[in-house]
């Protein structure tokens, strides 16, 4: 079985200014992210992005905006020989519909666990909100809550050194 680190996007991977990040020119990768994802990758962890993108449901932006950002992120990581195993996003928002994929629900994590033969007990979720931790725990994964836009290095150290 594989081990994985699931990652929230806005506020963990990229700078979250407090509202929706959907324009490529606003998407700034947080300090230390690429280096630390590389460390995780080199230590045998699959890297899987799990992100709520409720602005799609609210018609603030489209799935095309999300895809452009995700392609850019993947390209930037590949320049450093880091590969995301998969990117899952929920386009729904609770103000418009109920769904089972929006965090704090765990469907997207569970989908990745099944698809990539992941051992939840050897896996982690890094997020900046309690809903990230809740989703992780529902799927049997250890949740790690970080501060908004915080450098994730010390958490990666903890994961690698366990």
The fold for domain 7-116 equals Rossmann fold (3.40.50)
Report the alpha-carbon distance of residue 57 to residue 117 in Å, rounded: 31
Residue in the block written with tokens 């806005």: 10
Confidence class of residue 105 from pLDDT cuts 50, 70 and 90? Answer: very high
Rg (Cα) of the chain, in Å, rounded?
15
Q: Span 95-115, mean pLDDT?
A: 95
Whether pLDDT at 155 is above 90: yes
Q: Which sequence positions are flagged as catalytic?
A: 8, 10
Across the strands, what pairs with 47?
5
Report the alpha-carbon distance of residue 105 to residue 90 in Å, rounded: 10
Confidence class of residue 156 from pLDDT cuts 50, 70 and 90? Answer: very high
Q: Is 54 exposed, middle or buried (0-12, 13-18, 19+ CB in 10 A)?
A: buried
| Angle formed at CA 144 by CA 138 and CA 145, multiple of 5 degrees | 105
Whether pLDDT at 96 is above 90: no
Q: Span 152-162, mean pLDDT?
A: 95
Q: Span 44-59, mean pLDDT?
A: 96
């Amino acid at each position: 079985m594989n081990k994985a680190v699931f990652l929230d996007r806005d506020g963990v991977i990229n700078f979250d200014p407090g509202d929706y990040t959907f324009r490529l020119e606003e998407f700034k990768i947080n300090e230390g992210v690429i280096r630390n994802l590389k460390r995780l990758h080199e230590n045998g962890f699959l890297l899987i992005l799990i992100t709520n993108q409720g602005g799609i449901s609210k018609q603030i932006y489209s799935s095309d905006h999300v895809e452009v950002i995700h392609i850019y992120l993947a390209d930037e990581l590949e320049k450093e020989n880091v590969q995301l195993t998969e990117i899952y996003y929920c386009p729904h928002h609770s103000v418009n519909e109920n769904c089972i994929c929006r965090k704090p629900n765990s469907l997207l994590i569970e989908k990745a666990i099944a698809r990539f033969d992941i051992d939840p007990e050897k896996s982690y979720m890094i997020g900046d909100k309690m809903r990230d931790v809740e989703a992780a725990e529902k799927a049997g994964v250890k949740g790690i809550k970080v501060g908004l836009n915080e450098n994730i290095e010390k958490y990666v150290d903890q994961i690698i050194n366990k």
